[in-house]
């Protein structure tokens, strides 16, 4: 694949912009052999094997990925929307190439796999793989998601038992059950869900006469939040991570 096409596919702008970056000497390519350092390439039409390629654009190193899969530690006070109404968008936390990766659809860049409320923190997956988004979002696949919930009133076994047996939400007569639930401490509830209704955790906790004071997602499938990933930071997901997520 031509270097210009590689940069374009990774979200570095139009083909003309990518060609300009290359011709001006802003692009270095790492040797695909062991221990190869980055070399400046000024030929936009230079051919490279894209899979496994690493390159440096304006001083920042990037790996080539046919599809992008990333994990963001969502901070509080952010919206999972390209056009936020009140709070900053989570997309402002990502570098521009992730936001500009070309897609056949009208919307560019990676998209959130589901949404978290503006005050909810924790694990959020983003990708430009539409099939992955559909698979992860479909209720048929029952992907478990674990939430760490701080509640206002002390927890008791009755509340935990009700959440496990099922509570009725105001817009659905069918009881909604937690896949798993435990009182970690007097005010800390760990709740596992396999579906994603609107404000589900908050409404389920309210249904057992308690109130959510703070909420964070700590796990999706078998993948847990990395301890060294601070709020607002992101990282690439590798094949092992995706296997854990998909179960």
Assigned token pair, 120: 């909810």
How many other C-beta atoms can be found within 10 angstroms of the C-beta atom of residue 32? 12
The DSSP code sequence of 189-247 is: EEEEESS--TTHHHHHHHHTT--EEEEEEEEETTEEPPTT--TT-EEE--HHHHHHHH-
CA nearest 177: which of 195, 154, 199, 158?
A: 195
Q: Decide if 117 is catalytic.
A: yes
How many other C-beta atoms can be found within 10 angstroms of the C-beta atom of residue 133? 18
Q: Which of 61, 117, 119, 161 is catalytic?
A: 117
The answer to whether 121 touches 77, Cβ cutoff 8 Å, is no
First-to-last alpha carbon distance for the chain, in angstroms, is 33
The answer to whether 29 touches 39, Cβ cutoff 8 Å, is yes
Q: How far is CA 186 from CA 68, 149, 152, 247, in A?
A: 40, 11, 10, 31
What residues act catalytically? Answer: 117
């Amino acid at each position: 694949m031509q270097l210009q096409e590689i940069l374009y596919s990774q979200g570095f702008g139009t083909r003309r912009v990518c060609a300009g970056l290359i011709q001006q000497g802003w692009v270095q390519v790492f040797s695909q052999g062991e221990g190869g350092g980055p070399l400046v390439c000024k030929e936009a039409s230079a051919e490279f094997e894209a899979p496994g390629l690493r390159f440096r654009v304006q001083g920042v190193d990037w790996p080539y990925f046919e599809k992008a899969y990333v994990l963001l530690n969502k901070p509080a006070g952010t919206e999972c929307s390209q056009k936020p109404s009140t709070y900053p968008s989570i997309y402002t936390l990502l570098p521009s190439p992730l936001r500009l990766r070309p897609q056949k659809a009208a919307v560019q860049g990676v998209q959130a796999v589901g949404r978290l409320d503006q005050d909810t923190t924790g694990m959020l997956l983003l990708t430009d793989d539409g099939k992955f988004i559909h698979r992860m979002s479909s209720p048929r696949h029952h992907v478990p998601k674990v939430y760490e919930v701080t509640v206002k009133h002390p927890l008791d076994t009755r509340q935990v038992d009700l959440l496990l047996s099922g509570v009725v939400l105001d817009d659905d007569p069918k009881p909604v059950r937690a896949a798993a639930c435990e009182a970690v401490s007097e005010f800390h509830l760990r709740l596992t869900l396999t579906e994603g209704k609107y404000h589900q955790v908050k409404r389920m906790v309210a249904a057992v006469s308690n109130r959510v004071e703070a909420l964070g997602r700590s796990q999706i499938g078998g993948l847990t939040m990395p301890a060294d990933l601070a709020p607002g930071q992101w990282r690439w997901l590798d094949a092992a991570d995706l296997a854990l997520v998909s179960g």
